[in-house]
Amino acid sequence: MTTIAELPAGFADKVLSAQSTFRSVMDAMARPGSVQHVVASVEMPAALMRGTAAIALTLFDHDTTIWLDPGVSKTPDVAKWLNFHTGAPVVTDPSICHFALIADAEELPDLTGFALGSSEYPDRSTTLILQVESLTRGQRYELCGPGIDRAATLRAMIAPKDLFERLAINETLFPRGIDVVLVAGDEIVAIPRTTRLIGHGG
């Protein structure tokens, strides 16, 4: 049971940290597959990585609904921390959430359970924030799509091995679909709904 006296503090410098993190996320989204760094110093609950915590403090507010994976929601630590620092409501139904925080990527549920947006408002879909083991070593993924000059190579150890196969639903759903931000420590990589996998290997 976390009391308020044990809550981690959040950003050391709220304004500049949020601005620099926003910039990192924006660059990551503009250049899918490229590794961006979160430089802000932040205190966070044990279940979250630095990048995840910084993104949460930057993008979440009282208007954004959050869904937490079963592992994170088992203890109230993360929900309390989010509530204190961002005021974002935590929901149990993934189909109405704006952001889904997935600390243990093995627990990633079926993607069609999340909000996919509507044809009129494709932006009303869930953005997945997925913590992975590494974004600099591991399997090689070749990506293409808007924001990528011919092809981008990403080396990553992603826990659900079939993540990109699952993201193939974005092709049929477009312009609806799910955007993903992968986080490993303070490194982030964005896989927006327009990015396609063109090859992978060891």
Select from 11-19, 21-29, 107-115, 184-192 the region that touches other proteins (CB under 8 A).
11-19
Closer Cβ to other proteins, 21 or 195, answer by number: 21
Closer Cβ to other proteins, 17 or 131, answer by number: 17
Q: What are residue 5's phi and psi, to 5 degrees?
A: -70, -20
What length is written for the chain?
202
* Residue 171, Cβ density class (10 Å: 0-12 exposed, 13-18 middle, ≥19 buried): exposed
Where do runs of H (alpha helix) occur along 60-134? 70-73, 77-85
CA dihedral 128→134→135→141, nearest 10 degrees, is: -90
User: Which of 50, 80, 85, 98 forms a contact with other proteins (CB under 8 A)?
Assistant: 85
What minimum distance in Å lies between the beta carbon of 4 and other proteins? 5
Interface mask (CB under 8 A) for other proteins, residues 32-71, using x and -? Answer: ----------------------------------------
11 binds other proteins (CB under 8 A): yes
